[in-house]
Amino acid sequence: MTAVASAPELAPLHRRLGLTDLELAAIEAKLGRSPNDLELAIFSVMWSEHCSYKSSRPLLRTLPTGGADVVAGPGENAGVISIGDGLAVAFKIESHNHPSAVEPYQGAATGVGGILRDIFTMGARPIAVLDALRFGDPADARTRHLLRGVVAGVGGYGNCVGVPTVGGELVFDPSYAGNPLVNVMAIGLLPAGRLTLAQAPGPGNLAILFGSTTGRDGIGGASVLASATFADDDPSKRPTVQVGDPFAEKLLIEACLELIEAGLVEGLQDLGAGGISCATSETADRAGTGILVDLDAIPCREPGMAPFEVMISESQERMLAIVRPEREPAVRAICAHWNLPVATIGRVTADGDITIVGGGLNANGRPNPDSVELARIPAAALTSAAIVHDRPSTPPSRRRAAPAPGVPLERNDLLPERGMDPGAILLGLIGSPNLASRRFVFEQYDSTVQVNTVVGPGHGAAVLRVKGTSKALVASTDGNQAIGAIDPWLGAALSVAEATRNVSITGARPLGVTNCLNYADPTRPEAFWQLKEGVRGLADACRALDVPVTGGNVSLYNESPAGPIAPTPEIGVVGLLDDIAQLVGPEFVADGDALILVGETTPGLAGSVYAELAGVAPEDGPPGIDLAREAAVQRFVREAIGRGLVASAQDVSGGGLAVALAEGAIWGDRGAQVRLLINGTPAVDLFGESPSRLVLTTRPGDAPVLLLLAAEQGLPASEIGTVGGDRLVIELGGRGAIGDAEGRGAQVSDALEVTIADLRHAWDYGLQRALGEDPPAHPGDGVEPPDSARGTG
């Protein structure tokens, strides 16, 4: 066993494979005997955290998963929801964190490949990818290396397979320094009748493997790499990373959809973590059958591979189809058309076991007389009846041992009052690594292939038209680690609120949630508590907002010598807009439109981008969330858009109200004149990120109707200004002291005034500056230079 030979000789095999003594005892109990080495290797992969969800499964059961339109929920390769017109949308998010830390290009590329396979395995054509990426300090050389590799990997794969990358996230936080997060979401579209499940029904049916051949790459990816914390940037783990071939994937997509369209498969499963072991046991267990695997029939990339290597290899771009014997020739013909290797590697059996035979099967699918049975494991023992751990959890003794990572300690949250120009703070925020334009990154992706992209990356949620209908799908990914680090329940609830809100403000109705739960080592009670609280926040928010969780992925052990990551529930939401003509964007659209602020500003700056930049008082907490209010705000904005009352809609999130206004101004290329009533401190009102707030613009005549509609729904709303001009001006008034500069009186703190050109320049180049990339060669390249630079050339 080459993969384990380098481990210390003294430790018993099961420990070297990552299984505990307790787990070995459980395996022996399930088998009624001791497992042989091959069986142990298979168990080690299938009982890894990554494949078995052994720590998280009891928690995930608490999530709301039902809904009238849900066609397939958790447990399948992807969630599927009906969107009418005989169509359904399939979507899922998945992590590829540890592979990307070891080998960023291939780690990210195979992350894209894996999630795409989850989509087309269901019979859906992948139509979009969103990538949620998280790294450490952008000034750090290693961060830059990882970012460059990951972005190139996402692009290298997605661009080639012809699936547009239409959105996602890029977040910098010191907690990701040693353990970046690469979460990829894919969306697919299918005729509802084409839904295909990953199951192996019908004893006697053939198990057909097609796609790439099986090699030595990705051995132990699930167990060694994904289910343990990092010792360091360990090059010895590189062979555990798979290598992607997007060209093969493109052929695989076309071949699979053709097989499904022709009705040739009874079940289809992609080979991901755990390789053939996982695909055979999961499909068999779902159908209550077994599979007899003919080891010698599996096409290998190189000679001399040990049985355990063949069975747990995570070589990419492979699929397992369950096929009626009489349809085998037709299946082979389609594979040949797409030039894909194909092999019949086994038979479905009635005994419920995954049985692995060396020496071949005869024409009837029975082992040859001189064949050897190498392993026999009940399929259920590997999947649905795999071990579940009841992990201890304890809240941290001090709920907040330190301020949010990287935050200076001194109390300075009253900067504007201390005479600092709030406009300078706004420029600093909008040009900061977490808020500046991501153009530098997303321009490396193909976002327009397949001609469905109505709104691509960069301006809020992605919007994809649905060909042949008047409908559009709207998608967003969001995760809040900064507040998750302080209060994991709140971080998760806010993540759901923001992702659904980003969909609702386009006018679309959120259909469902997919989640990628990125947490630390679950065997540490404090880390398990974070996961538990995160799942509770996710469940509470999804119930309050009435969106089902249709699937997702759990990524644990996200730790490095630098420490654990901040708890990061990455939430992906897909929504449906029935009439694309009603789509509303976040950018200001017309001078003279009225600006309406909906919702209530509440105190709390901890976890905000402002806090990252300026620091907050250590005793300051994050703003809370009222989930019922959040639901009401989202219902309100959807209704207002449906009635044609809204010209633009933006939510207040990262950077607060001032940044929301600045984004509307930059993207709409027109300014605004705003009068803001300061109820707390200027920092909270301008830059605080309390949720459930919206900035809407509307034709002046519609403003009263919009305000009335808000009042009817019990939502505070007020007109705060007017769109127009070449600058964003925010006059800060004291309580009730709205008026011109002369009349504002003593309670007035200050006014903020920044030109759109300056805002755009800060926003456009902030990320490149943070990453140390070359400044643009031509200041006049379609972007206005800041005022100060005018006239110089």
- 98 given a catalytic annotation: no
Query: Would you call 377 exposed, middle or buried from its count of C-beta atoms within 10 A (0-12, 13-18, 19+)?
Result: buried
Contact status: 582 vs another protein (CB under 8 A) = no
Q: Which residues face 554 on adjacent strands?
A: 517
Of 61-69, 167-175, 246-254, 379-387, the window that binds another protein (rule: CB under 8 A) is 246-254
Q: How far apart are CA 697 and CA 586, in angstroms?
A: 9
Contact status: 468 vs another protein (CB under 8 A) = no
Q: Tokens 């600093």 — which residue?
A: 428
Q: Six-digit token pair at 385? A: 């009846």
Q: What's the min distance (Å) between Cβ of 450 and another protein?
A: 7
Contact status: 261 vs another protein (CB under 8 A) = no
Contact status: 156 vs another protein (CB under 8 A) = yes
Contact status: 246 vs another protein (CB under 8 A) = yes
Binding-site size, another protein (CB under 8 A): 38
Task: Give the β-pairing of 648-651 and 472-478.
Answer: unpaired
**314-343 binders of another protein (CB under 8 A):** 338-339
Return all residues near 526 (Cβ < 8 A) that are at least 6 apart: 393, 394, 395, 396
The correct pick among 28, 232, 443, 787 for binding another protein (CB under 8 A) is 443
Q: How far apart are CA 670 and CA 726, in angstroms?
A: 6
Q: What's the min distance (Å) between Cβ of 149 and another protein?
A: 13
- Cα within 13 Å of Cα(24), Cβ side: 16
Name the residue nearer to another protein (CB basis): 147 or 357.
147
CB atoms within 10 A of CB 680: 14
The correct pick among 66, 303, 329, 782 for binding another protein (CB under 8 A) is 782
CB atoms within 10 A of CB 724: 15
The correct pick among 450, 550, 558, 692 for binding another protein (CB under 8 A) is 450
Q: What's the min distance (Å) between Cβ of 460 and another protein?
A: 15
- 50 given a catalytic annotation: yes
The correct pick among 51, 108, 109, 161 for binding another protein (CB under 8 A) is 161
Helix (H, G, I), strand (E, B) or coil at 430: helix
Between the alpha carbon of residue 196 and those of residues 260, 553, 624, the distances in Å are: 7, 20, 42
The correct pick among 420, 454, 737, 738 for binding another protein (CB under 8 A) is 454
Q: What's the min distance (Å) between Cβ of 127 and another protein?
A: 11
Q: Six-digit token pair at 321? A: 């189809």
- Cα within 13 Å of Cα(279), Cβ side: 32
Contact status: 160 vs another protein (CB under 8 A) = yes
Q: How far apart are CA 292 and CA 207, in angstroms?
A: 9
Name the residue nearer to another protein (CB basis): 411 or 790.
790
Contact status: 162 vs another protein (CB under 8 A) = yes
Query: Would you call 341 exposed, middle or buried from its count of C-beta atoms within 10 A (0-12, 13-18, 19+)?
Result: middle
Name the residue nearer to another protein (CB basis): 364 or 792.
792
**372-391 binders of another protein (CB under 8 A):** none
Q: What's the min distance (Å) between Cβ of 773 and another protein?
A: 10
Determine which one of 96, 98, 389, 761 is catalytic. Answer: 96
Q: How far apart are CA 548 and CA 66, in angstroms?
A: 6
**By C-alpha distance, which of 555, 444, 433, 520 is closest to 105?**
444
Name the residue nearer to another protein (CB basis): 458 or 563.
458
Please check whether residue 697 is in contact with residue 464, taking contact to mean a CB–CB distance below 8 angstroms: no
Determine which one of 14, 50, 389, 761 is catalytic. Answer: 50
Contact status: 447 vs another protein (CB under 8 A) = yes
Between the alpha carbon of residue 757 and those of residues 662, 727, 789, the distances in Å are: 11, 8, 11
The correct pick among 90, 132, 251, 508 for binding another protein (CB under 8 A) is 251
Q: What's the min distance (Å) between Cβ of 86 and another protein?
A: 20
Return all residues near 25 (Cβ < 8 A) that are at least 6 apart: none
Q: Tokens 């100060």 — which residue?
A: 788
Contact status: 448 vs another protein (CB under 8 A) = yes
**722-761 binders of another protein (CB under 8 A):** none
**Contact residues: another protein, CB under 8 A:** 152, 155-156, 159-162, 245-248, 250-251, 338-339, 439, 442-454, 465, 467, 580, 776-778, 781-783
Catalytic residue list: 50, 96
